[in-house]
Structure 1
């Protein structure tokens, strides 16, 4: 490939077009997410692999510094990086909300000058300063002082009454029901978890992970691996107020070709993608769901109840048949389809 073939965002007309151009640039470079992170670090940029995965799976404009760092990591020249930055600024400006506070001003009139020209009515003297005919200055001053004192005292009493009532109401609202647990965040909502690690472990490779480009699961004996079966491990970072609130989770996986069904279990999250192996795997926990038996490429969705998910959620996928089931990983060289997890939760 030549520089003339390198994808560009110069013709992007929307945020979705811009992100699609970034995906095409990564595919053109042939870099995995891990390799892109290392090349960015060599350039003096910070470009975490998990951040790139999340950025390319959405259709909103990424931060300017992330787009520039990714362009440099993919081999773009300084002029080409400027093209990516200029295109992003153009799209961001097109989506900016106009300032409604100045839209009625005459062209070229600064807001501060307009405000300065508005007439301001100010009383020439206090409202209680009127003097009755025949009163002396001393008597009038004393009368004004007494009126101001009485008005101030009445206002202070009113403020204290309002503060007392509001405080009583807030204290009553904060009293928890018997047995209720303390929680923070909204009563209900949706969280898109961030995929941080995905790996395949194989009985044939007891001390290390398998091919990082794909995720493969089969069992009890793989048709392509007489030494034993393989399993898939996924780990997600969950935030946004889920806490211990129950909810419904949707796991989406991009299936590559035909294969048998796969069981999904909740798992212990104490493992690292770079070092996990068959002998170091965590024991599978509660069964959650199973996939269907499809034979085409595309997204496959699994829904299952989730009692709680605070911080980190790890899953283990175990094949039911000898036919291997293959999914796209976060480091697949041509498919930008890492696993996705959505959680819809409701706090009682």
Structure 2
């Protein structure tokens, strides 16, 4: 396990806990800690190891006990040692060089000694963390925020083509229009102001944070698109079919009323390009295949080209 995988495990843990960034911050404060939403955004959006005290506070805020928090911190420290990163804050005793007399040791000797003493313990801790990640992957919060049961059945793989299985990545993703790959599908306002609530638009990918997108499998080629935001919480995309917002896509709080999207691969196979179709409502497309920032996503008659083709990839 490396630093990036460890941070991915922290993101999975937050999903398992079913808490928004603000809720995590409130729980940390209630227990005497400090974990502002901006800090959580930085922690979960990076590919390097967060500081050990932040991890302990985060794990506690997710509802886990002290022993479990200690395990997460110990694994974090073991990764830091193996990658020759200096661990922040006081290290556990098993990571500290022995004190007292005897032959003077060089820094290289101490590093080898630390690793040899750490290996049996780290192995057990890594196994524990793998189990936690596995549990988190299958215990993502239900629609009502509870921790019981799986979100959805594992999807069946669609038919293959020349050995390639066009299955989009699950979990945290980026959805980018192929015609404007520097833009990502996220929330924004309708340009002509005919509809007030936030809807799906395309914006620069580097300006999307702290919002994150989760692709949740619902069986077969059906998926739910979730948006997670520290201020607004979780919203599930719904293709609107009536009223002033007809044809737009809005993130709604009640995920039972959301739309289910067929993710249909667009040639060539294996390119991670998909068309997003909703039964009876057509396909998602960028209005007029416009490549400018802020253009809304709308439901259109399916043509499978232009602004209706999206690149779906795992979020880094």
Q: Choose between structure 1 and 2 for higher RCO, CA contacts under 8 A separated by at least 6 residues.
A: 1
Larger Rg: 1
Common fold by TM > 0.5: no
Task: Calculate the TM-score normalised by the size of structure 2.
Answer: 0.37
